[in-house]
Amino acid sequence: MTAPLRHAEPIVVPVTLGARAYDIVISRGLIACLGERIKALRPGAKTAIVTDATVAKRHLGAAENALKAAGIKSSAIVVPEGEGSKSYATFETVCEAIIAARIERGDLVIALGGGVIGDLAGFAAASVRRGLDFVQVSTTLLAQVDSSVGGKTGINSRHGKNLVGAFHQPILVITDTALLDTLPQREFRAGYAEVAKYGLLGDAAFFTWLEANWQEVFSGGPAREHAIAVCCRDKAGIVARDERETGERALLNLGHTFGHALEAGAGFSGRLLHGEAVALGMVLAFDFSARKGLIGEADSARARTHLASVGLPTHLKDVPGGVPGIDALMDLIAQDKKVKRGKLTFILVRGIGQAFVENDVSAAEVRAFMADKLSSA
Ligand SMILES: NC(=O)c1ccc[n+]([C@@H]2O[C@H](COP(=O)([O-])OP(=O)(O)OC[C@H]3O[C@@H](n4cnc5c(N)ncnc54)[C@H](O)[C@@H]3O)[C@@H](O)[C@H]2O)c1
Ligand SMILES: [Zn+2]
């Protein structure tokens, strides 16, 4: 990875999905151009901005001003912040508000927020009038590198996360890296786990670059735009080759089977954020790969050292309040990925940047590995 240049022009990452192709535009301060960009794409469209209460306080005014300056009408739909808004009740509120705002075919829904708002507003856009166009203005690092790319939208069921939803691609993603300046440090750091994930799963040169440049990604210099652009390019490439997750897209789940089990064990609470669980999960995936002889200890130590150096949890003992016991953990792992005749599917690695799907992992082997980890925690 070469050193990032200071980009006078925004970086544009195209997501090449035929008729559903769109651009991810990345730049510091880009929200000021929101209206101009929308006007160029959909002249004459009205807009409804879906956002959460926290993001509304910080950034709704800037979005509204940018639209107004371009002569675009907008109405705001503000929902409570947090995962709880990915519910049937809030989905209903948002759909009804979009209809009440007279947003019709040819108009636009704008999702202004993190992954929760992107998933919720995207699903509402997919549903109202059997499909409205939508634009994502992502305001968390996680949303900028992950949830705004690829078109998965949806809400949660009482049976589990993201069980009700649709594939619905946005027509434009506006990624203003300055919006991340107001994000709590812990949220930023959790999103960084997904940044590191792209390096660890398929882009060794990017991982090496991150080891040298992560401080500037955090502090908000040009390295931040560069890192976000690389993540978007990597994910867009995977999504373009496997939009519906029949194969390669599963690699994006590196660290997520172990991670989801730990996240569920913490009750999806503030005790362990998604990205924190993913950091731990990736370390476990590397350690497990080392135990199976797929990689040397040096590679797993390298993954762990980098994640630890940015302040992410990398040991089970780092989870405040502890983790469930082995039986409960194995139940959670089995829930996340179906067990077929005692076999589990995991994303494992043959090196930094060399992840692969392994469908034939024995549950007994995972159990022995996790039991060792728990006893040394
Ligand atoms: N669709 C996908 O492909 C995909 C991929 C990964 C995750 N997700 C989903 O994304 C969700 C998590 O997303 P998230 O981590 O962005 O959570 P989030 O949207 O809840 O945002 C995290 C918190 O940060 C606040 N916030 C957002 N932007 C801010 C800003 N600029 N300044 C200050 N505060 C700000 C929010 O109000 C919220 O409290 C989960 O529901 C997950 O299922 C979806
Ligand atoms: Zn994730």
Ligand 1 pocket member 199 (CB < 6 A): no
- Averaged pLDDT in 10-residue chunks for the chain of 377 residues: 56 90 96 97 97 98 98 98 97 98 97 98 98 98 96 93 95 98 98 98 97 97 97 94 85 95 90 97 98 97 98 96 94 76 90 95 95 90
Pocket test for ligand 1, best of 140, 163, 183 (most atoms within 8 A of CB): 140
Active site residues: 130, 152, 194, 235, 245, 249, 253, 256, 260, 274
Which protein residue's CA is at the shortest distance from atom 12 of ligand 1? 115
What ligand 1 atom has the least distance to the C-alpha of 180?
A: 31
Find the ligand nearest to 276 CA: 2
Ligand 1 pocket member 182 (CB < 6 A): yes
The first and second tokens of residue 54, run together, are 């926290």
pTM for this model (two decimals): 0.95
Strands 152-157, 160-167: pairing kind: antiparallel
- Please choose, from the candidates 218, 179, 281, the residue with its C-alpha nearest in 3D space to the C-alpha of residue 210: 218
> SS in 3 state form for 152-206?
EEEEEECCEEEEEEEECCCCEEEEEHHHHHHCCHHHHHHHHHHHHHHHHHHCHHH
Q: What distance in angstroms lies between residue 129's CA and the mean position of ligand 2's atoms?
A: 30
Strands 152-157, 343-349: pairing kind: unpaired
Q: Which pLDDT belongs to residue 8?
A: 61
Sheet of 108-113: strands edge to edge?
Answer: 11-15, 22-27, 172-176, 133-138, 108-113, 47-52, 74-79
Ligand 1 pocket member 249 (CB < 6 A): no
Q: What distance in angstroms lies between residue 14's CA and the mean position of ligand 2's atoms?
A: 22
Ligand 1 pocket member 162 (CB < 6 A): yes
Q: What distance in angstroms lies between residue 266's CA and the mean position of ligand 2's atoms?
A: 16
Q: What distance in angstroms lies between residue 47's CA and the mean position of ligand 1's atoms?
A: 22
Residues in a beta bridge with 44: none
Q: What distance in angstroms lies between residue 260's CA and the mean position of ligand 2's atoms?
A: 9
8 A C-beta contact, residue 348 and residue 358: yes
Q: Which pLDDT belongs to residue 339?
A: 66
Q: Which pLDDT belongs to residue 377?
A: 75
Q: Which pLDDT belongs to residue 9?
A: 84
What ligand 1 atom has the least distance to the C-alpha of 82?
A: 20
Which protein residue's CA is at the shortest distance from atom 22 of ligand 1? 114
CB atoms within 10 A of CB 367: 15
Alpha carbon distance 287, 293 (integer Å): 10
